[in-house]
Amino acid sequence: MTTSGTEWFNVLFCELEHCDEDGQKQKIEEMNELMEEMDKEEIEYVYTTELFNKILKMIEEEKLSMENALFLLKHVGYFKMVNFLWTEEYKFSSLSKTYEKMIIDENEKKGEKNEKLLVDICECNALLNNELSSELVSIIVPCLLNVALKKAEDEETQKEVEMALLALSNIPVFYEVKRELLTNKIKEIIKYHQEHRTLTKLAYQSAWEFLIYRLDTDKSYEAIVNELHFAREAARELDELMNTVNWRRAKKAEKEEKETKEELVLLRWLSSIFGFFQTNISTNEEFDGLISSLIQIFRSAKDNHREASNWCIYLFKEATENRAMKVDALLESGAVDNVLVEIQQPTLNERVTFDYLEFFFYILIRSKIKEFDEMEEAKRKIAKKKILEKMEEEGYEDIIASFHETLEFFQRNYDRLFSLNVEDYLVNVFDD
C-alpha cells in the first residue's frame, strides 16, 4: 500500500456530497476497504480534525446522511484502534461535541429511544475519543455491553459484537464502571464464549482488555479475572495466533507491508497481559503456561517481528518486578536463557537494551530478598546458583561490564531510579 491509498480515500470522500444515499454507501464501503489495507501512518493521515469537522458540515448541509456518516466513522475508529493509533484529533473537533450532546439527549428521552442511533454514536465516541466524560461513560458502557451480549452466530451479529467490544476496550482505566456490569454482563460474555466459541479473536481479546483495565483501579476484580482463567485463556489465544502468523512474512512486512490482523490481535494480547502483570496479581499454576507461551512468541518473533519480541521482553521484566513469576520458574521456563543470548546482539536499540538490563536487575533483586519469593533458604540458594552458572556460561558479567559507560545515559533518558552500580546486576550466591 502506498500513499496513493490515502489520496484515493480523499478523492472518494470529496465525491460523497455529489451522490445520493445509496451511492454514498457504496463509496464508503470502498473507503472502508481502502482503510483495511492502510498501515498505521496512512490511517493517521486520514484521521484529522479537518475530516471530522467537514463531516459535521456535510451533515448540517444535508449533503451526507447521519446513517452514512456513522457508517464511515465507526470504521475510521475501528482501524484507529486495531492499528494502535493514539491521537486526539477527534476530541478537538466540533463533531465530537455534537455527538456527545446527541448521546446525552437520546439517553434522556422520555419516550421511545432510537436504540440503533444511540448504539452507533456511542461506538463512534468510544472508538474515536481517548478521553470521555464520566457522564458519557455511564451511558456508553451499559449500551455497548447490551450489544456485546448478543449470542447469534451469524457474521453480521459477530461484527456488531466485535465493534461494541472493541469500543469498550478503549474506555480508559481511570473511569469507574458499575460493578454489577462487570460481575454480570462482562462475565457472561466471556463465559459464554469459553463454552461456545462465538466471538471473533479480536472481540474476545477486547472483552478481556476492558475487564483487565478495571484491575488498575480496583484490585478486587482480581477474583473475577482468576475465576475466568485469564492466564490460561491468554496462553491458549497466543498459542493459536502464533501458529497462524507467518513469521517469515512478518519479517518482510516490517519494511514492505502492513501487519496482518492476526499480528495486530497478538500485539493487543501482549498489551493486555502487560496491564495484567502491572497490577501485582497473585500467581497461580496457570501462570506457568502463560510464561511458556510468551517464551514461544519471543523465540518466533526475535528475528522476525521486533515489536512483538520487544513486548515479550517488557513482559518478562514486568512479571519479574511485580512477582507474577517466581525467579526459579523464570529460569526453568527459558526466559533467562533467551534474554542472555539476545542482550549480546549488536543491533539492539537503546530502549530494548534498557529493558534487558532492568529484567536482570529485578531478577537479582528478587533473588536477594527473601520476602519476595517464599522458598526455603536452601532452595533459594540453589536457584541463585543456577542463575549464576547460566550467567557465567554466557559471559554475562563481561556483558554487563561493557554497559558501564552507558548506565548513566539509561538513567538520564529512561528511568532516574535506574541503578548506576554494575554490582547491582551481578549475582552473588553468598551475599546474604
**CA–CA distance, 350 with 413 (Å, rounded to integer):** 10
CA dist., res. 156 & res. 201, Å (int): 15
> Which distant-in-sequence residues (6+ apart) come within 8 Å of 72 by Cβ?
28, 31, 32, 55
The answer to whether the beta carbons of residues 331 and 382 sit under 8 Å apart is no
pLDDT value at position 368? 65
pLDDT bin (cut points 50, 70, 90) of residue 280 is low
Residue 250, pLDDT above cutoff 80: no
How high is the mean pLDDT of the chain? 84
Higher pLDDT, 253 or 171: 171
313 C-beta neighbours (distance < 10 Å), count: 26
Closest CA to 311 of 320, 324, 321, 301: 301
pLDDT at 373 over 70: no
pLDDT at 172 over 60: yes
Cα–Cα distance measured from residue 4 to residue 142, given in angstroms and rounded to the nearest whole number = 40
Copy the grid coordinates of residue 42: 496512512
DSSP label of 145: H
Q: How far is CA 427 from CA 317, 369, 420, in A?
A: 17, 13, 16
Phi, psi for residue 46 in degrees, rounded to 5: -75, -35
- The pLDDT confidence band at residue 177, using thresholds 50, 70 and 90, is confident
pLDDT of 1 reads: 43
Closest-CA residue to 100 (of 60, 73, 139)? 139
CA distance 376 to 417: 30
pTM here is 0.87
Please give the pLDDT value at position 361.
79
Supply the pLDDT for residue 2. 47
- 247 compared with 225, residue with greater pLDDT: 225
Alpha helices in 129-221 (DSSP H): 134-148, 155-168, 179-180, 187-196, 201-215
- Does residue 95 surpass a pLDDT of 60? yes
Closest by Cα among 190, 174, 278 to 234: 190
Residues of the chain above pLDDT 90, percent? 44
